[in-house]
């Protein structure tokens, strides 16, 4: 667990339904993000059968997958996981920007929390450090953020009634 934000261990996932959208590009990294996200959801009380894992080719495709999942109306939150690693070209920048902007847009357009769990790193080593290495696992952070946002959005909707 990284120390970038305070831990919310009391977060209760019971009764929530959460989708994990995970891109396969750099799968050695994204597989670890997805495993940690799913394990954290279960640890926080989300039922195994209320967790849906969906894979897609790369981080660029995550916004569309998240949008489709959000529009089913079935999920309390969606976790988008990917790893964008700088290569020799500007492709990295384009993919990272499209993923970040697209994921933010899906959340705002649908009202369903979509958690940004896409690592952007200069090297594979940097990405690995954040996928179960010395800097924690962003998949775990993303799962906690998903539960927190699912609860918060539900509470805000109740208050608005
Ligand atoms: N996709 C990633 O998830 N990470 C990367 O680092 C990456 N790079 O660097 O190319 C990447 N490219 C593929 C992209 O996400 C799409 O899958 C592809 O362009 C097809 O639309």
Query: Quick check: is 158 in a domain?
Result: no
Question: Rounded mean pLDDT of the chain?
Answer: 94
Ligand 1 atom closest to the Cα of residue 85 is 6
Q: What is the pLDDT of residue 1?
A: 47
Q: What band does 117 get if pLDDT is binned at 50, 70 and 90?
A: very high
Give pTM, 2 decimals.
0.94
Given the residues 91, 111, 122, 154, select the one marked as catalytic. Answer: 91
Neighbours of 129 (CB within 10 A): 16
| Domains held by the chain: number | 1
Rounded to an integer, the average pLDDT of 117-134 is: 96
Query: Quick check: is 41 in a domain?
Result: yes
Query: Quick check: is 126 in a domain?
Result: no
Rounded Cα distance between 136 and 112, Å, is: 26
CA of 14 from ligand 1 middle (Å) equals: 34
CA of 15 from ligand 1 middle (Å) equals: 34
Is any atom of ligand 1 closer than 6 Å to the C-beta of 88?
no
Q: How far apart are the first and last CA of the chain?
A: 36
49-62 burial: b if 16+ Cβ within 10 Å, else e:
ebbeeebbebbbbb
Rounded to an integer, the average pLDDT of 60-83 is: 98
Q: What band does 161 get if pLDDT is binned at 50, 70 and 90?
A: confident
State residue 51 phi and psi, 5-degree precision: -115, 120
- Read off the pLDDT of residues 76-115 as tens digits, 9 standing for 90 and up: 999 999 999 997 677 889 999 999 999 999 999 999 999 9
Is any atom of ligand 1 closer than 6 Å to the C-beta of 22?
no
Q: Is 27 an annotated catalytic residue?
A: no
**Residue ID of nearest Cα to ligand 1 atom 11:** 58
Is pLDDT at 67 greater than 90 in this prediction? Answer: yes
Q: What is the CATH number of the domain that holds 69?
A: 3.40.50.960
């Amino acid at each position: 667990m990284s120390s970038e934000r305070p831990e919310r261990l009391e977060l209760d996932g019971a009764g929530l339904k959460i989708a994990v959208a995970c891109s396969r590009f750099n799968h050695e990294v994204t597989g670890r993000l997805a495993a940690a996200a799913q394990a954290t959801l279960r640890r926080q009380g989300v039922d195994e059968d209320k967790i849906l894992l969906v894979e897609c080719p790369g981080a660029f495709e995550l916004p569309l997958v998240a949008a489709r999942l959000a529009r089913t109306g079935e999920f309390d939150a969606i976790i988008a996981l990917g790893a964008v690693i700088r290569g020799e070209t500007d492709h990295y920048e384009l993919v990272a920007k499209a993923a970040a902007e697209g994921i933010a847009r899906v959340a705002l357009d649908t009202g369903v929390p979509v958690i940004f769990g896409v690592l952007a790193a200069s090297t594979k080593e940097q990405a690995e450090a954040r996928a179960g290495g010395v800097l924690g696992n962003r998949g775990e952070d993303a799962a906690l953020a998903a539960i927190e946002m699912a609860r918060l959005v539900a509470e805000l909707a109740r208050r608005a009634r």
